[in-house]
Amino acid sequence: MKRKSHKNLDVIHHGLVLISDGQGKGRPARLLLTKDQLSVQIPCDPNEEPTPLLPQEENPVRTVAIRRRKESGGLGISIKGGTENAQNMPIIISKVFPKMPADETGQLRVGDVIIEVNGEKVEGRSHDEVVEMLKGGDEVTIGVRACQQIAPYLRSSMSLQHGSRAGSVLDKLYEPNTWKSAMKAQSSLSLYDTASMASLADPKSDRWKTITSVSLPMAYVTRYLWGTDTIRQNSFEVRAVDGTSTGIAHCEDATAMAEWLNHIHHHIQTLNSKSIKMSNKYLHQSEQISFIGWVNERIEEANVDPNLTWFPRFLIIKGPDICLFESPPLNSEDLSKCLFLYKAYDCAVKQVPPDTRRLDKRDHIIWLETSGGAKEKHYLSFDAPHMTETFEQQYYKCIYASVNAMQSYAWQYRFRDLHSSSDDGKVHVQFVFKDDRSLSQNRLETKDVECDEAVSVAFTLHAFLMAKMFAADPAFLKNNPLL
């Protein structure tokens, strides 16, 4: 494999792999990585017309005529965007209703950006103005352009369901006629000859056809066998938020696999950072998103299949909150539908070292423990060490910002004056402070706190101490991770 950059193709990385469904023998294919997607390609039959690698015009405007039904009157689409509230968002198709006029054209997709309506440009118009433009006449002609970066956020997330095949890529790859054609192409090109291999690997080669492309924003990458701690050797899978998958990509060796994963993780992180910046433009300062990414949680109770103990979760740090979702929230409404939501200062995060304290063979483990007891304790695994490090950094910054935002105390002492503290794990917490104003002989002042959640108080105190440490030396936690 070689790294090349071709301006006309915008190729970041490419190479030959085997693609499988995780059970059968892998089939030869080529992966092609661009800035925002990963494509799976197979060789073309030399007697067939080659399929262009990318359209000559990357995002051409498509003109679609939609005839309104007399009985319903609607077109069958929903839109988002516009210039309201100082925003200047494009007008995007957020939903295409089945069996309605727009759906029956077969030419409109969720994520398409509307450029014009009946020949009139919509740029700079409000949401309501565009809605009115779409209401006029028995037939409406709209010009739309596909937007690869926006579409994944608006599709309904099939979210990595266990048992689902890797998506259309495997259906196409294992379909008899497709495979027969690919094998004929490989035979003609002498796939196992070094010179022919180099010719096939060239990203400018027209002897390939793309059978699927996986969008990288918020994509999920894993090396593990689904739901287990069994790691695949020199293999990985990439899934988009809509469930589209590359299948299992088997690399030549560990070096090739590591190179692929480094490139893919880097581009997912870059795209996710852009998504965070875009979202934060419309969020209050106290609600800013600082982290998004996939993590896996170990859950043993009430599973239908006892062999499956790991489940993907989408983790977000938003303002002072840590949120766990089943799948990425694709709009502001979805942000309120998380499985778990905790205040960061009400949690403790601990790395689990690779010893007997680990529950199985997964790597990059943390405990996310809350003050609610054993039932609110999450055993989480990241798929790459840099993701663990990034999460921890943002968690500590979240703690620091949250504590700084708090004010109005009934009594107040400096941290350096805290002599000791204790709790009974139920309702009572006691703080002992060194106080020169105290009338006691040892100058110690005792403060008793009674509450329903004594452990929560202890966790909050821990959060304040972490904030103090971070303020004094931001590099301390990086050099001395909490175990």
Per DSSP, 363 falls in state -
pLDDT, tens digit, for every residue of 234-255? 999 999 887 788 989 999 999 9
Q: What is the mean pLDDT of residues 359-369?
A: 93
Is residue 274, in this structure, part of any structural domain at all?
no
pTM of the entire predicted model: 0.62
pLDDT, tens digit, for every residue of 139-154? 899 999 876 555 544 4
Question: Where is pLDDT greater, at 185 or 430?
Answer: 430
CATH number at residue 95: 2.30.42.10
Checking if the pLDDT of 272 tops 80, the result is: yes
d(CA 482, CA 369): 13
Q: What is the dihedral of CA 310, 317, 89, 140, to 10 degrees?
A: 30
The whole-number pLDDT of residue 238 equals 94
Asked whether the beta carbons of 433 and 415 are under 8 A apart, the reply is no
Claim to verify: residue 368 and residue 444 sit in the same structural domain: yes
Q: How many CB atoms lie within 10 A of CB 409?
A: 7
Is residue 273, in this structure, part of any structural domain at all?
no
Checking if the pLDDT of 269 tops 90, the result is: yes
Asked whether the beta carbons of 180 and 172 are under 8 A apart, the reply is no
DSSP string, 112-158: PEEEEETTEE-TT--HHHHHHHHHSSSEEEEEEE--TTTHHHHSPP-
Is residue 176, in this structure, part of any structural domain at all?
yes
Hey, is 334 helix, strand or coil? helix
Average pLDDT over the chain reads: 77
Is residue 3, in this structure, part of any structural domain at all?
no
Claim to verify: residue 107 and residue 158 sit in the same structural domain: no
- Of 409, 452, 444, the closest CA to residue 428 belongs to 452
The token duo for 275 is 């998504």
Per DSSP, 232 falls in state P
d(CA 299, CA 227): 10
Hey, what amino acid is at 213?
Answer: S
Per DSSP, 45 falls in state P
pLDDT, tens digit, for every residue of 374-423? 558 899 999 999 999 999 999 988 988 887 777 656 677 777 787 888 87
Q: What is the mean pLDDT of residues 16-40?
A: 87
Checking if the pLDDT of 306 tops 80, the result is: no
- Of 193, 233, 195, 205, the closest CA to residue 26 belongs to 233
Is residue 206, in this structure, part of any structural domain at all?
yes
Claim to verify: residue 300 and residue 401 sit in the same structural domain: yes
Is residue 7, in this structure, part of any structural domain at all?
no
d(CA 466, CA 415): 11
Last residue of a domain, one of 89, 112, 146: 146
What is the separation of C-alpha 382 from the centre of its chain, rounded to a whole number of angstroms?
Answer: 12
Q: Which of 61-65, 169-173, 249-253 has the lowest mean pLDDT?
A: 169-173
Hey, is 387 helix, strand or coil? helix
Claim to verify: residue 340 and residue 428 sit in the same structural domain: yes
Claim to verify: residue 217 and residue 91 sit in the same structural domain: no
Checking if the pLDDT of 99 tops 80, the result is: yes
Q: What is the mean pLDDT of residues 359-365?
A: 94
Claim to verify: residue 139 and residue 167 sit in the same structural domain: no
Hey, what amino acid is at 8?
Answer: N
The token duo for 186 is 């490989």
Range of the domain at 455: 283-483
Q: What is the mean pLDDT of residues 69-97?
A: 75
The whole-number pLDDT of residue 338 equals 87
Question: Where is pLDDT greater, at 153 or 228?
Answer: 228
Q: How many domains, in total, are found in the chain?
A: 3
Hey, is 416 helix, strand or coil? helix
Claim to verify: residue 296 and residue 171 sit in the same structural domain: no
Hey, is 212 helix, strand or coil? strand
Asked whether the beta carbons of 421 and 446 are under 8 A apart, the reply is no
Strands 89-96 and 77-82: antiparallel
Q: Which of 16-25, 48-57, 412-421 has the lowest mean pLDDT?
A: 48-57
Which residues face 378 on adjacent strands?
Answer: 368
d(CA 292, CA 172): 32
The whole-number pLDDT of residue 250 equals 93
Claim to verify: residue 414 and residue 327 sit in the same structural domain: yes
Q: How far is CA 249 from CA 80, 213, 239, in A?
A: 36, 14, 12
The pLDDT confidence band at residue 80, using thresholds 50, 70 and 90, is confident
Q: How far is CA 33 from CA 215, 260, 261, in A?
A: 10, 9, 11
- Of 252, 399, 373, 416, the closest CA to residue 320 belongs to 399
Claim to verify: residue 475 and residue 332 sit in the same structural domain: yes
Question: Where is pLDDT greater, at 433 or 471?
Answer: 433
Q: What is the mean pLDDT of residues 42-58?
A: 54
Range list of H helices, 138-291: 151-154, 168-174, 176-189, 194-201, 254-280
Last residue of a domain, one of 128, 146, 164: 146
Checking if the pLDDT of 185 tops 90, the result is: no
The pLDDT confidence band at residue 337, using thresholds 50, 70 and 90, is confident
Which residues face 78 on adjacent strands?
Answer: 95
Q: What percentage of residues in the chain have a pLDDT greater than 70?
A: 74
Claim to verify: residue 170 and residue 308 sit in the same structural domain: no
d(CA 123, CA 100): 26
Q: What is the mean pLDDT of residues 47-58?
A: 47
Question: Where is pLDDT greater, at 198 or 339?
Answer: 339
The whole-number pLDDT of residue 97 equals 85
Checking if the pLDDT of 167 tops 60, the result is: no
Checking if the pLDDT of 182 tops 90, the result is: no
Claim to verify: residue 371 and residue 255 sit in the same structural domain: no
d(CA 79, CA 144): 12
Asked whether the beta carbons of 153 and 242 are under 8 A apart, the reply is no
Is residue 276, in this structure, part of any structural domain at all?
no
The whole-number pLDDT of residue 463 equals 76
Claim to verify: residue 69 and residue 94 sit in the same structural domain: yes
Is residue 278, in this structure, part of any structural domain at all?
no
Hey, what amino acid is at 113?
Answer: V
Question: Across the beta sheet with 245-250, what order do the strands follow?
Answer: 208-215, 37-43, 27-33, 13-20, 245-250, 235-239, 220-222
Q: What is the mean pLDDT of residues 151-176?
A: 47
d(CA 447, CA 461): 14
CATH number at residue 33: 2.30.29.30
d(CA 77, CA 103): 8
Last residue of a domain, one of 97, 121, 146: 146
The token duo for 341 is 């939501």
Per-range mean pLDDT, top range of 7-16, 134-143, 166-175: 134-143
